[in-house]
Amino acid sequence: MYGAAIIAQALHDLGVKVIFGLPGLPVTDIGQEGLYRGIRFISFRNEQAAVYAATAYGYLTGKPGVCICVGGPGVFHVMAGIPHATANSWPLLVLAGSSETHNGGKQAFQEVDAISLLRPHAKLVVRPNAAETIPKSIKDAYRTAMFGRPGPAFVDLPANLILGHYDIPRHVLEPYNEPPLSVAPDYRIRAVVDAIKSAKSPLVVIGKGAAYARAERPIQKLVEKTGIPFVPTPMGKGVIADSHPLNYSAARSVALKEADVVLVLGARLNWILSFGLPPKWNATAKIMQIDISADELGQNGGNPSLSLVGDVALVVEQIVDRLDGWKWEARSSPFSRSLQAGKEKNEARAAKKAAVQTLPMTFERAFDVMRKTLNDLSNPANGDIVYVSEGANAMDISRSIFTMEQPRIKLDAGTYATMGVGMGYAVAAYTAYNLTGEGSSGTKDHKKVVAIEGDSAFGFSGMEIETMARFQMDILVFVMNNSGLYRGDADESGRWHEKRRNTVAGTTTQGAGLTAWSLGYETKYQKLAEMAGGIGFEARTPEELKEATVQGFKAKVPVVVNVIIDQQADLPMDFSWLDMAPPKKEAK
Ligand code: ADP
Ligand code: MG
């Protein structure tokens, strides 16, 4: 048997339906052998986008997303996706070619010691030492990526093993349909239940681990039966519909600050959740984590003795059973009053920002138009749009404006705050929902994939528009164009760009008034879609944006809408929540 065929056959046996990658010697034939076996091969323009696609595919399907690349430089490009998968706890299987074993150490073609390079960053790294062990290496890596806390695994495939022909017996692998699941011991469930019953200000926090675990039904039951308020993390949105009256996302800071007993379901107490520590959280709060990884329990503000290891869907089911119909007395509670007040205040502030009528549009105004138009064109309750978003302002501001009524229809820069993921994610979502059907969100309809991109974030992998066009993916991309990073192309005093528009590039050391965060002034990103056979729009007014959204939604090709945004739209940016500067010293 041909080495590439052994590899493709192993993937096929494991149930792999799609490979993301970038072909090149010596891995080209693996993709082709996969095609002969009915495995799709989605080839990208850069390995980085391919590996990001594979990570998101893993998240959406619950099985390792598979990425194939060449050795050396290919490995360095896919490396970006490896800590990204670790940080997000998403299952990823990377297969890379490498130089021939007999040429090792001779400065061979694209030679690098990928095993040493990746060992600290992956759950498992393996290199089969003979054709006979290829299936087992691939199986071990696949299983390790998927079981326990999901993460990345890596298989190094020397060129001579891929390209050789071997007379060996066929090694049949069985697919893994579900990882092993565990529940918590009853006495620990009782302790958690007692803590919940003693709460004055209880809160449920829902993370993307809960979405990954498909825990929506038990978590909905928990919240419905107990009446406990909840807040989702960015990708935990939709596990319970955002429209649910107990969703206090809009009063998040009040919720974290005042809660006294908190159930954290599949979310880490990391920077996204302000560590579960003061000043954002109440120092005496009992924070009870439920996580598949025991290592995570007790991290930062977590209470290790009240936390539970196990599958979040099964453990929440256990808790609901033990609660036995208990309901939180919300009516007389000061907590519900402050939550309500916080929600109303924040919603009023958002409505005010969305109503700003000046041109160029603010982010809020543009998002408001896009949201209303997309909601009219689709059935939000069904979750038939998948939202991808990245970019500092584009992601942060859109997060609260676009609501999710279903789980796993929202992808963003994630735990590692990785920019450049958007195009790969969009391709992955399209593939999971519309091509292989391995994604799940309760429905099997064709989903529209909508990517909301900052102009900087889009630039990392804008060329993947061609990938979308080549595979006839009707993905709708909005580029929120403020001609720069963060606050766009304005300095603190305002309209710096006016100066740039009127000067010839290159007349100063920085070019014509370029700040450190400038990008090309009103770059025509829509042309990338036109280049590839898609459709491009430029939208400067709400009317143009609405029309482009309607046309873009209906199109059967990729669409880029270049949305011109006010460059001072969010001045000054507030990063205090990121906690980057050391805390201020108390005044004596
Ligand atoms: P978020 O970004 O939404 O806060 P995180 O990625 O920080 O979420 O946390 C997700 C957590 O979910 C991880 O700690 C991971 O171990 C956990 N997890 C993943 N799958 C399961 C599962 N089946 N059951 C319980 N926890 C899970
Ligand atoms: Mg920008």
Q: Answer whether 388's CB lies under 8 Å from 422's CB.
A: yes
What's the confidence (pLDDT) of residue 579? 67
Report yes or no: 96 and 157 within 8 Å, Cβ to Cβ. Answer: yes
How far, in Å, from the CA of 400 to the mean position of ligand 1? 21
**Ligand minimally distant from the alpha carbon of residue 315:** 1
Q: What is the pLDDT of residue 505?
A: 45
Q: Is 413 in the pocket of ligand 1 (CB under 6 A)?
A: no
Q: Ligand 1 pocket, 68 CB below 6 A?
A: no
- What integer pLDDT is reported at residue 332 of this predicted model? 80
Sheet holding 476-481, edge to edge: 410-412, 385-390, 448-454, 476-481, 559-564, 535-539
Residues 433, 435, 436, 437, Cα dihedral to 10°: 30
Contacts of 543 (CB under 8 A, 6+ apart): none
Pocket test for ligand 1, best of 90, 123, 212 (most atoms within 8 A of CB): 212
Distance from the CA of 570 to the center of ligand 2, in angstroms? 10
Q: Is the CB of 229 inside a 6 Å radius of any atom of ligand 1?
A: no
CA of 101 to the centre of ligand 2 (A): 47
pLDDT at position 498: 52
Residue 99 near ligand 1, beta carbon < 6 Å: no
pLDDT digits (tens, 9 = 90+) for 358-375: 999 999 999 999 999 999
pLDDT < 50 regions, the chain: 442, 492-494, 501-509, 571-572, 588
State if residue 236 touches ligand 1 by the CB under 6 angstroms criterion. Answer: yes
Which atom of ligand 1 lies nearest, measured to the CA of 293?
Answer: 16
Position 506 scores a pLDDT of 41
Ligand 2 centroid to 343 CA: how many Å?
Answer: 28
Residue having the nearest C-alpha atom to atom 5 of ligand 1: 267
Residue 174, CB half-sphere, CA atoms under 13 Å: how many? 3
ipTM at complex level: 0.92
pLDDT digits (tens, 9 = 90+) for 324-358: 999 998 888 999 999 999 999 999 998 998 888 89
Residue 503 is predicted with a pLDDT of: 47
Other residues' Cβ atoms within 10 Å of the Cβ of residue 426:
31
17: Cβ below 6 Å to ligand 1? Answer: no
Q: Is 218 in the pocket of ligand 1 (CB under 6 A)?
A: no
Instruction: Estimate the crossing angle of helix 28-36 against helix 3-13, to 10 degrees.
Output: 50
Is any ligand 1 atom within 6 A of the Cβ of residue 74?
no
Q: Which of 287, 292, 308, 411 has most ligand 1 atoms within 8 Å of CB, for mutation? A: 292
What would the DSSP string read from start to end of 151-163? Answer: -EEEEEEEHHHHH
Q: What is the spatial distance between Cα 255 and Cα 499, in angstroms, rounded to a whole number? A: 45
Which ligand is closest to the CA of 486, given by its number? 2
297 lines ligand 1 (CB under 6 A): no
**pLDDT value, residue 331:** 81
- Let me know: does 360 contact 565? Beta carbons within 8 Å: yes
Please report the pLDDT score of residue 581 as a whole number.
72
Centroid of ligand 1 to alpha carbon of 259 (angstroms) = 21
Write down the residue that tokens 């009516």 correspond to.
331
Q: Is 364 in the pocket of ligand 1 (CB under 6 A)?
A: no
457 close to 390: Cβ distance less than 8 angstroms: yes
Q: What is the pLDDT of residue 515?
A: 75
